[in-house]
A and B are shown apart, each in its own frame.
Chain A
């Protein structure tokens, strides 16, 4: 634990995060997915990084739901379900009429 908390390690982590930041910004610029003003602020589709993550995360979460549905609809057609033991109370199933 002490090793992790050493000052040098913090510096390394800082440098590493900075490297990721620079690389990702370059990637955004090079791939023309950067619509904001370059000099003033780092906006993606007019949103800052954290808001953009929420925006894209919402879409990705929906895609996850859709892929899950497609998988169970077309690829995993048989869902192994134990034969259900239900309704041992007679009253539960009594017909009203």
Chain B
């Protein structure tokens, strides 16, 4: 791609970001404006912001690549993304979270927990966990998209990282959550355009839905082996069939589906979106927009991944590879870029790259915002019991966000292994740590502070140990091998055990150590709007 084209497109993109950041700055008058956009957002903005935060570049590029290896069985994740990630998330969690957040004057997940259980320490620890792991996660998001731009435009990785971080950082620090949500709306539209054209293009090249899927089903392992596709061994029953029950590919699909599909319910950056709604109706009406947005993103991405194999086989294109520690391995992340470069016109390459950039930046801006608010509000202001005026609170939050942006920039420029691990931990860790106390807090009035601590710490420690000692992706890199040498166990996402364990611990400790008088007062206060 032409570097001039990149410079022009990137300049337009940056000007738009900075302009929306400036508008957000003008609109941000109070700390509440910065934290939760003045609790004034309508349904379309909530839906687009939720969706754009939820769907990162990894979800589009990475999961399409994974679908090209494991086939259409990954569509179960698209189902969970919509049914659990949108419908259950809003109906079961969204409305109550908003009401309890309002009753408790809370603007973050950690603050809701801290206020509900009358414990600043709980808020401090929750804020620290969220802040620290979120920096690593944001760094990984930038790393992926900078690599993509480096490959496509031939621009240095460092320059890409610096440009992306400065643009996102400025619009966020100046514009607060107003700036973030408005840019999300524009980014979501760009993402929709990119994914719709890509999907329609690929299906029309293959003759429509039925013929395209039949062509994928008809690919033999020999044909796939011929282009070096890992699907030859990882989709043994064909690209449009489920793998055999409890086989390695089945376990991989199971882990992905439930790790990400259920883990979405406890993501702090998504929970903040419920708190931005101007009323309950706005949240209810966000559900259809959110459902359609996620359908256009994940359903299309997961559907076209396996079809890329058909295009590659039919046109004699080899499956992309990369060199890891001197060994040539398949590179699923490059499947979509290869297909776009080969089969689509140059104007679409630019649109798609900016759609991917939009996906990465929208997720990153939400992560920066949540991490900044966690460190300033949960750790500094509440955890360390600093009495701040609203003006000072806003100033401290901007400084905390700036520090997080700089920390992320340094981590992304000099990526260390621990960042990759922390990123891999993120979804499962958030779910196993927060989902049980968060769910029970919303629906069970007897949930106590002791129960919340037990569920949170139990889930956190278990998940960390599972990733360090047992999980097949992380344990071999950390301790050299996995402790249990059975693939059914070590391929299992910690959410399968950690989440029930966290629920059990929260329940048992809430029954044994009951609420004190202060906790009961806060519990009554939290339910006064329900």
Chain A interface residues (CB < 8 Å from chain B): 35-36, 41, 43, 45-48, 50-51, 54-55, 57-59, 61-62, 64-66, 68-70, 72-73, 79, 81-82, 84-89, 91-97
Contact = CB atoms under 8 A, between A and B. Distances in A.
Interface residues of B, number: 59
A68 B89 CA distance: 14
Contact of B105 (A43, A88, A97): A88
B444 interface: no
B237 A89 contact: no
A97 B29 contact: yes
9 contacts: A35-B214, A61-B291, A62-B82, A66-B288, A82-B529, A86-B103, A91-B389, A92-B31, A93-B390
A55 B72 contact: yes
B493 interface: no
Q: Is the interface of B mostly helix, strand, loop or mixed?
A: helix
B191 to A, nearest CB: 16
Interface string B405-447: 0000000000000000000000000000000000000000000
Nearest to B395: A96
B435 to A, nearest CB: 21
Interface stretch (B73-81, B334-342, B496-504): B73-81
B285 interface: yes
Nearest to B299: A58
Interface in B89-131: 91, 99, 102-103, 105
Contact of A43 (B31, B212, B240): B240
A94 B73 contact: no
B438 to A, nearest CB: 21
A73 B151 CA distance: 46
B274 to A, nearest CB: 14
Contacts of A94: 30-31, 389-391
B288 A48 contact: no
B284 interface: yes
B158 interface: no
Contacts of A81: 279-280
B30 A84 contact: no
Contacts of A92: 30-32, 105, 390
B469 to A, nearest CB: 32
A54 B76 contact: yes
A96 B30 CA distance: 5
Nearest to B214: A46
Nearest to B76: A54
Contact of A62 (B99, B105, B237, B292): B292
A85 B240 contact: no
Contact of B394 (A48, A64, A73, A96): A96
A69 B284 contact: yes
The listed residue with most A CB atoms (<10 A of its CB), out of B73, B103, B290, B390, is B390
**Which of A59, A84, A87, A96 counts the most chain B CB atoms within 10 A?**
A96
- Tell which of A48, A50, A62, A70 has the most Cβ of chain B within 10 Å: A62
Contacts of A57: 79, 83
A95 B30 contact: yes
A64 B393 CA distance: 42
A42 to B, nearest CB: 10
B213 interface: yes
A96 B281 contact: no
A54 to B, nearest CB: 4
Contact of B216 (A46, A72, A82, A97): A46
A68 B390 contact: no
Given A51-B73, A81-B279, A84-B102, A65 B290 contact: yes
B217 interface: yes
